[in-house]
Amino acid sequence: MIELVGRPYHSCDGVSRRNFLKAGVLGFSGLSLADLLRAKAIGSVSDSRDLSVILVWLDGGPPQHETYDPKPDAPAEFRGPLKPMSTNVPGIQVSELLPYHARLMDKMAIIRSMHHNNGDHFAAAHWMLTGYLGSNAVNLAPQYPSAGSIITKLKGARKPGMPAYVGLPNTHSVGLVPGYHGGAYLGVAHNPFSADGDPNNDGYQVANLAPPAGVNPVRIDGRRGLLASFDNARRDVDASGLMDGLDRFTQDAFSLVTSPAAREAFDIRREEPRLRDRYGRHQWGQSALMARRLVEAGVRFVTLTFSGWDFHSSLERGMKTVLPILDNAIGSLVEDLQLRGLLDSTVVIVMGEFGRTPRLNTGGVPGADPVPGRDHWGEVMSVLVAGGGFAQGRVIGSSNARGEIPRDRPVTPQDFLVTLYRQMGIDPETKFVNRNGRPVSIGSTGQPIEELV
């Protein structure tokens, strides 16, 4: 495997969150990608609920007051600088900077009572993505597999020749390679297939899908033949018949490099310019459009990591910068999926590692712009869900009048992940053996959120 180091992102703790791009190429043996594909198939299951998932991960922690849970009647130091906006569902309001969301609220559900009571970036991210509390040690390797890794291990890709799990544009901005989006003790085979970079850049290319320099189709065919010779030789001494099942995985590995299917899915230039404009000609908008292309092509799980939500100061200016971009990207994605008949088969999730403090601070961290912001707050947060057969036009749970804690129907990360697993036809009691040889349930202590289904 080849690791290419991308540009760093900094969180409030001063730690550089660096993007890593793992390129699965043929290399000298031609086996690395094939090995990943073989491992991905172990434990796969089939089910009639053939859903895909697009997780929009707002890395840094989005403020609930300024997004999906405005508090217009709270005192000024709690309600914040933005006004609420009514949506097309009576009684449901969102931030005034989310008009596209407001027009599509009848296609969405909001959980306003998510909580885990942890304010550390790393531990909270691990909890939200895996269902288990992580360590607050900086950049500690993940201890439990992410929901994306679990789902794709059990379900595989929706169509042959496509990777099951893809991450972009900043897959590795959380923790160590590949962050808490990865497979942990399930193995590196269940990490996301990295497509990091900016799809809005004309030079954007997924290195994983390109043959190494100097390896042309003739040489690839030669390597394919050499592998076949090795396989035939091993079959002579294989009494179990195991080798008979391996050819398909090697062919899939070669297909990802030589077949146009995956490359076409990642070629966003094939989209109509007007549609690209609608999503937004920036990294977030074009990444959302790429996610739609990928699930349409047969990818099971796509994670979009949108960094830069850690607003300890200058909250109003920050929200006026990022929310219109997010609004356009999410609104266009949900509407596009709906128009193409894909929303019922695609779950869209928008969340971060925690919410933000209900009371505005006096200027954030030392040395920062002395303009109010909000600090870390795991006591309550909001999560948006659309598609996949989940409830529409509904709010689940609520926070209290100042947005401090859940007022009713408190929900935990493990509750949400159990609900997602069930919706996809996966038994939350499924267990995998961890590094200590102990069987661990994928559902942790979670209970289904019946109101969401």
Q: Is pLDDT larger for residue 25 or for residue 432?
A: 432
Q: Is the pLDDT of residue 177 over 70?
A: no
Q: Is the pLDDT of residue 174 over 70?
A: no
Could you tell me which residues are beta bridge partners of residue 432? Answer: 440
The DSSP result for 70-109, as a single string, is: --TTS-HHHH-SPPEEE-SSTT-EEETT-HHHHHTGGGEE
Query: Mean pLDDT throughout 21-42?
Result: 41
Q: Is pLDDT larger for residue 298 or for residue 227?
A: 298
| Distance in angstroms (rounded) separating the CA atoms of residues 79 and 144 | 36
Q: Is the pLDDT of residue 285 over 90?
A: yes
309 CA to centre of own chain: 15
At the topology level, CATH places domain 2-452 in: Alkaline Phosphatase, subunit A (3.40.720)
What pLDDT does residue 206 have? 85
Residue 329 corresponds to which tokens in the numbers above? 């990207």
Q: What is the model's pTM?
A: 0.84
What mean pLDDT, rounded, does the chain reach? 83
Q: Is pLDDT larger for residue 11 or for residue 424?
A: 424
> Which tens digits make up the pLDDT trace of 395-434?
999 999 999 999 999 999 999 999 999 999 999 999 999 9
What pLDDT does residue 260 have? 72
User: Domain ranges in the chain?
Assistant: 2-452
> Which tens digits make up the pLDDT trace of 306-322?
999 999 999 999 999 99
What pLDDT does residue 20 have? 32
Residue 66 three-state SS:
coil
> Which tens digits make up the pLDDT trace of 97-139?
999 999 999 999 999 999 999 999 999 999 999 999 987 766 5
Q: Is the pLDDT of residue 282 over 50?
A: yes
Q: Is the pLDDT of residue 146 over 80?
A: yes
Q: Is the pLDDT of residue 364 over 60?
A: yes
| Distance in angstroms (rounded) separating the CA atoms of residues 312 and 445 | 32
